[in-house]
Structures are given as C-alpha cells and as structure tokens.
Amino acid sequence: AYARQHPGLALHVAELILPPAEAHVGRARRLLMDAACRRLQASHHPHAFIASTDADTCVAPTWLAAIRAEVQAGADAVGGRILTRAANPACPVRRCQLLDATYHVLRSQLEHLLDPDEADPWPRHHQHFGASLAVTAAGYRQVGGLPAVPYLEDEALFRALRRHDLRVRHSPQVRVYTSDRQQGRVAVGLSWQLREWAGLLQHGHEPLVDHPAQLISHWQTRRRLRELWRTTQAGAPVATQAAGLAAVGPVAAALLVPPPDLWRQVRQSASFGELWEWVEAQRQAQLASHGPWPHLPLRAAVALLRQEIARLMPAAT
C-alpha cells in the first residue's frame, strides 16, 4: 500500500520457504542484508550503507539521516539507541529496565574515560542490536557478512566488526522505538530479558551485574595491551624473547593468561580486535573459577559507577 502511494519507492519483495534448520532470524536477516549489499555495491556510492530494524519497531523520522551523518563522518557501522514505546514507568519491570539502561550508559562513560575510542567518542550509548544497526556495504563485505546464527546474530556481527578493527559508532542521534512485549520469536532478545527481570522481581531478587572494579581493571589493561600491540606492529625492535616476555608480563598477569602465549599472539595478530578476542576467550575460563570480583546488585553497581566517574572526571578534564 505504501509503494502504491509513493511510486518513487523501489520496493523489493522476496518470499521463500527455508529448511527447518535455517528457519531463524539469523538466516532471514543474512539473506536480506546480502541482497541489500549487492544492490548497494552496484550503485558504487562511497557512503552506501545497510540499515536494519525489526518488525515491532518504529524508527525516528531522522533515523536514516542520522545514520548517514555518522557514516559520512567515518563510521563503518552505527548502533542506534533503542527505546521502548508507551511503557508504564510505574511498572516494576520498566523501572528495572531503566535502571539497567542507566548502568550501561554509565559503563560506557567510564569506559570512555579509561580507554577512549576515537571512533566512538562520548556521548555514546551501549546498544548495537538488530532493531537499529547499520553497516556500510564495504564493511559488511570485509567481515564476510552477517553470521547466520539462530539468535544474537547482531552481537555476532558486532564481534566480527571489532575483530577487523572497523569503526563502530554508538550514536545517541540515531533512535528507534520498539515494543516492550514479553513474548518474542527468538530464544534470546529484549522480550526474553524482560521476562528474566520479571521473574527475578517476582521472587524479590535484584539483577546482578559486573562489579565496577572488574570493569576498571579490564579497560585499563586493554588500553595497555593496545599500546603494546601498536608498538609491536610499528616494528619496534625487541632484542630477545626474554625481553618480549618481560614487556607483556604485567599485562598477562592482569589478564590471567600465560605470558608466552600472549607474546606470541601479540606478534601474530593482524588486528587488535583479533588479539582482544583471543584474550577474552582465554580469560573466560579463568574468571569462572578465579574471578576476584563478585557480581553486584544493579543499584549498588550504579552507585559505584557514579562514584568512579566523579573521581575520574577532574583528571579527564
């Protein structure tokens, strides 16, 4: 109906039946984004981008223009702010959702203070999900397309972008408004998260989140490792293997990984994203059994994040 009212719109419709093993959101979004990428590359436009949203989501009137502005400023991908529509602020789950959003925005601000990303300066947010996720055609091709996984395909694409050191912008100017329904079509998503919070609150429990002390150590160490990787990639001479191990020793200790393994990976990794993905995989098993910081209730973590940001702000300015 919209296409009939707007003859200038080139509307493409594809209908197909997928095998049961492939009948999931990851495969469907992959097919759509692949088709979009082919058309955009044929246009040879230097700033061509694929913009993704969801069926239960309404984009802001400025959505495409705001994405385009970020792409023209140098972003390879843009995550938009995802807000819920017509939600009751008195609802316990809604209050929990708002507190969780506060926690993640404060996390982003603290991360900016400790390990700034020139491609994603403050102010920024934390979301890079399918309801508002855009990527340039060139960037999409570079990472090999969207991973066709049954759920969390948006997170998988974000990890691929990071693995290739592409510039990802979490733009506050890019906004969409989505449903707050608790029954969705995927195993893990916003509806699943809302149900999880509802279950916790029903039993008088508060969500647990990462301890700010762990985040601070994590980002400070990542910054040191990035500097070390850049120095190594620039061809700085290391006299001996022992000297290399000594250089990575303090970082390896903080990351809970063996120094020889880390030094080898520093030299072999073609991108910092590739190196950090390896580090994260190594750390997960260690943190599960040797994690020095317990998870905190959401409200306590928000209070600590505010304290740390207030402590760091004078030094940052």
pLDDT tens, the chain, 317 aa long: 888 999 998 888 888 899 999 998 899 999 999 999 999 998 888 789 999 998 889 999 999 999 999 999 999 999 999 998 766 665 777 888 888 899 999 999 999 999 999 999 999 999 999 999 999 999 999 999 999 998 889 999 999 999 999 999 999 999 999 876 655 565 556 666 777 867 877 888 888 899 999 999 999 999 999 999 998 888 766 646 777 788 899 999 888 889 999 999 999 999 999 999 999 988 776 665 555 678 899 999 999 999 999 999 875 54
Rounded CA-CA distance 186/191 in Å is: 9
pLDDT attached to residue 120: 98
pLDDT attached to residue 175: 97
pLDDT attached to residue 205: 84
Rounded CA-CA distance 276/252 in Å is: 12
pLDDT attached to residue 181: 63
Q: Are strands 168-178 and 77-84 parallel, antiparallel or unpaired?
A: parallel
pLDDT attached to residue 291: 59
pLDDT, tens digit, for every residue of 9-63?
888 888 889 999 999 889 999 999 999 999 999 888 878 999 999 888 999 999 9
pLDDT attached to residue 242: 76
pLDDT attached to residue 124: 97
Beta bridge partners of 223: none
Tell me the pTM.
0.87
pLDDT attached to residue 246: 85
Residue 209's H or E segment, with its range, is strand 208-209
147 exposure class (CB count in 10 Å sphere: 0-12, 13-18, 19+): middle
pLDDT attached to residue 192: 63
pLDDT attached to residue 240: 62
Report, in angstroms and rounded to the nearest whole number, the Rg of the chain calculated over CA atoms: 22
pLDDT attached to residue 155: 93
Nearest to 24 by CA among 146, 179, 198: 146
Neighbour-count burial for 99-117, b at 16+ CB within 10 Å, e otherwise? bbbbbbbbbbbbbbbbbee
Alpha-carbon dihedral sign for residues 141, 142, 144, 148 = negative
Using alpha carbons only, give the angle 316, 208, 255 rounded to the nearest 5 degrees: 55
